A and B are shown apart, each in its own frame.
Chain A
Amino acid sequence: MNLSDYQSQFLAFLFGGTNEPALPNSEVYRFGVEAKAVRALELSYPTVKALVGPAAFEELALDYFRMIRKQSGDWSDFGWGFPSWMISHRISDRVPYLSDVARLDNYVGRVERSQYQEVDFESFAAIGEDLSSCRLILNSGLQFFSSVYPIVSIWEAHKSHTPQDTLSFAQAKRMIAKGRGQNALVYRAGWRGMAEAISEKEIALLDRLRKQPSIAEAFGDDVLNETNFTGWLQDMISKRVIVGARTIH
């Protein structure tokens, strides 16, 4: 066997593609890599693990590892496709919101590892009387999405060792019973990724701001006189969701 074939076959064995070890003791490496794969996914998807328990999580993680395999040198990159992959896994029949919760875990991790912009306070001086000539700048590291499940409450509850005792758990239960979902805004406070539920109106607005419209287009000509808007803007600036304003030329 040439060197290239040996290396390919060894990896195929590690990923479970073949049960025939390349050489005696090869399974030592397979056990080691599988343990690392499970550990990497545990770190990236703590809420998923809390929801399904350690044994089911390990089984899920190993199914993912054997099917998708590892494609990058950085273990923290491993598992970025985990949320969408699990939609077609049998576990989603039992826990239908698992993929959306995984997506939220993934976004929280992504926000923690990305370049999260600082607020440029002076730039807000660009907001003059003509609201059609300036726009608000959305933090490029931000994440938000809608789910038909109460994912933020589920995520929040499972930060506790006893999720059943939390208000978020009770809220999630009520919302699932009523078939209600949540919109998640994922931002960063200090180094920590945070998620909070936002209204339909707010997520539509953030979506609109991504397309970089003028303030007048996004909110209307008279928006600066609305106390709701100034309160919302202050909140968004404090979370570094909105990080500045810019004149449109």
Chain B
Amino acid sequence: MSNRQDIVPARPEPGSSTVGVGLRPDHYQDALEHAPSVDFLEVHSENFFAEAGIAVDLLKEVSASTPISLHGTSAGLGSVEAIPDDYLRQLKRLVDRVNPILVSDHLCFTWARIGGRLFHGGDLLPIPYTEDSLRHAVNNIDRMQQALGRQIAVENVCAYIEFDHNDFDEAAFLNEIVARTGCGLILDINNVMVNARNAQVGEPADFVDRYVASLDHSAIAEIHLAGSTPVDREELLIDDHACPVSEAGWHAYGRVIREIGPRPTLIEWDNNLPSWRKLLGEATKARKAQRRVLSREHSHESV
């Protein structure tokens, strides 16, 4: 049962052309000193679930001057099991503490029972896009939105396994979730590219464009950009967020914002972390890409 009409949209609305970076422990000190140079900071929600301590205090301090986007990695919105109350309680406490501009998580499962006991898989585990999956995802998204009293956004993930049977393609599945829950979407361009590459589609760029074209554009609340360490052709490409956004990634980003208009954009870099300066350099590239698209649109209008 959907509760779309009850969902309070995320507040405050982020500017559509804002750019943020992921804040990881190695950069805490830098963020305190240079946070105003980005429009927002994204953190992984679960890293701040503690009752108190340095991470919690730091986030409170940073959030006083820089908007925070809370990105979860553990809710497991696609789990057959309901998200546990304790998880929702901790997330709600964090949301109340930092008043984030966006709360989000992934379209995947994490919780399941083994021998009657509930366990957590610790990763973004793929789900088939079936009616059954849709029902459970909708239930969990509704449950989280009700618990938080606000809209959340759901991100497409990389899937390294293929299912024999799907009732929807991924974009249609996401659109159906949006229609039934009123949630927003995070479009992770690198995840789409990695899936295209691993599926060895003929023209990955066309695949990305078709994927984006079929999404509900009005629901896209944030775009994620990241890099994956290149591997040999026969190997599986892993979405490791361990290097800069690739040239193909920047080209895809340009095409996406031309198609859907600028959106708050996040540079994700989680492993093999660069210096804070280099990370901010990636954010600057995103800003420039947005400006290029916007100025082109303005010049067309004036013609």
Footprint of B on A, CB under 8 Å?
2-4, 6-8, 10-12, 14-15, 17, 22-26, 28-29, 32-33, 36-37, 69-76, 78, 112-116, 191
CB distance from B204 to the nearest CB of A (A): 19
Query: Could you list 25 examples of A-B contacts with CB < 8 Å?
Result: A3-B80, A3-B130, A3-B132, A4-B112, A4-B113, A6-B128, A8-B112, A15-B119, A25-B160, A28-B160, A69-B119, A70-B119, A70-B120, A70-B121, A70-B122, A71-B117, A73-B84, A73-B120, A74-B74, A75-B46, A76-B49, A78-B122, A112-B54, A114-B52, A191-B53
Interface pairs A-B: 5 shortest CB-CB: A73-B74, A191-B54, A113-B50, A7-B112, A23-B161
Say which residue of A26, A36, A74 sits within 8 Å of B90 (CB atoms).
A74
Residue among A6, A22, A76 with the highest chain B CB neighbour number at 10 A: A6
Shortest Cβ distance from residue B270 to the other chain A in the assembled complex, whole angstroms: 11
Residues B25-82 near A (CB distance < 8 A): 46-47, 49-54, 57, 74-76, 79-81
Which residues of B (158-180) have their CB < 8 Å from a CB of A? 160-163
Question: Residue of B at shortest CB range from A192?
Answer: B54
Which among A11, A22, A24, A69 has the highest number of chain B CB atoms within 10 Å?
A: A11
B104-137 near A? 1/0 per residue, CB < 8 Å: 0000011111100111111101011010110010
Knowing A3-B136, A4-B80, the reply to whether A116 touches B46 (Cβ < 8 A) is: no
* Of B114, B122, B127, B163, the contact of A12 (CB 8 Å cutoff): B114
How far is the CB of A90 from the nearest CB of chain B, in Å? Answer: 25
Least distance between A130 CB and chain B CB atoms (Å) = 35
Tell yes or no: B238 within 8 A of A by CB: yes
- A191 to B: closest C-beta gap in Å: 4
State the Cβ distance, B248 to closest chain A Cβ, in Å.
22
A-side contacts of B80, CB under 8 Å:
3-4, 7
Complex Cα gap A115–B51 (Å): 6
Asked whether B236 is an interface residue with its Cβ less than 8 Å from the other chain, the reply is yes
Known: A14-B121, A28-B236, A33-B121. A23 touches B162 (CB 8 A): yes
Contact A73-B46, Cβ < 8 Å, known A3-B128, A24-B161? yes
- A193 nearest CB neighbor, chain B only: B53
Q: Closest Cβ of chain A: how far from B57's Cβ, in Å?
A: 7
Residue in contact with A115 in the complex, picked from B52, B54, B75, B132, CB distance below 8 Å:
B52
Interface size, chain B (Cβ < 8 Å): 45
Interface centre among A7, A75, A116 (most CB of B within 10 A): A7
**Once the chains are docked, how many angstroms separate the CA of A76 from the CA of B51?**
12
**How far apart are the CA atoms of A72 and B119 in the complex, in Å?**
7
A151 vs B34: C-alpha distance when bound (angstroms): 41
**Bound CA span A191–B162, Å:** 46
Cβ-defined contact, B75 with A73, below 8 A: yes
With both beta carbons as reference points, the residue of chain B lying nearest to A40 in the complex is identified as B122
Q: Which residues does chain A contribute within 8 Å of B57, judged by CB atoms?
A: 191
**Which residues in B have their C-beta under 8 angstroms from that of A26?**
161
Neighbour of A11 across the interface among B51, B84, B112, CB < 8 A: B112
Q: In the complex, what distance in Å separates the CA atom of A78 from the CA atom of B46? A: 12
- A23 B90 Cβ-Cβ under 8 A: no
Report which of A3, A8, A24, A72 forms a contact with B133, defined as CB distance below 8 A. Answer: A3
Docked CA distance A115–B56 (Å)? 11
Binary contact readout B242-272 vs A (1 if CB under 8 angstroms, 0 otherwise): 0000000000000000000000000000000
By a CB distance below 8 angstroms, the chain A residues around B125 are 7, 10-11, 29
Q: Roughly how many angstroms separate A21 CA and B90 CA in the complex, as a whole number? A: 33
A10 to B163 CA separation, bound complex (whole angstroms): 13
Q: Which of B111, B123, B162 meets A32, CB within 8 Å?
A: B123
Q: Which residues on A sit within 8 Å (CB–CB) of B49?
A: 73-74, 76
* CA gap between A12 and B123 in the complex, in Å: 14
- Shortest CB-to-CB span from B281 to chain A, Å, is 27
A72 vs B117: C-alpha distance when bound (angstroms):
12
User: How far in angstroms is the closest Cβ of chain A from B149?
Assistant: 20
Which residues of B are found within 8 Å of A24, using beta-carbon distances? 161-162
- In the assembled complex, the Cα of A119 lies from the Cα of B279 at a distance in Å of 41
Inter-chain contact B54/A7, CB cutoff 8 Å: no
A121 to B26, CA, bound (A): 36
Contact A7 B79 (CB under 8 A): yes
From B52, B53, B121, B133, A10 is in contact (CB under 8 Å) with B121
Residue of A whose beta carbon sits closest to that of B57: A191
Q: Which residues does chain B contribute within 8 Å of A113, judged by CB atoms? A: 50-53
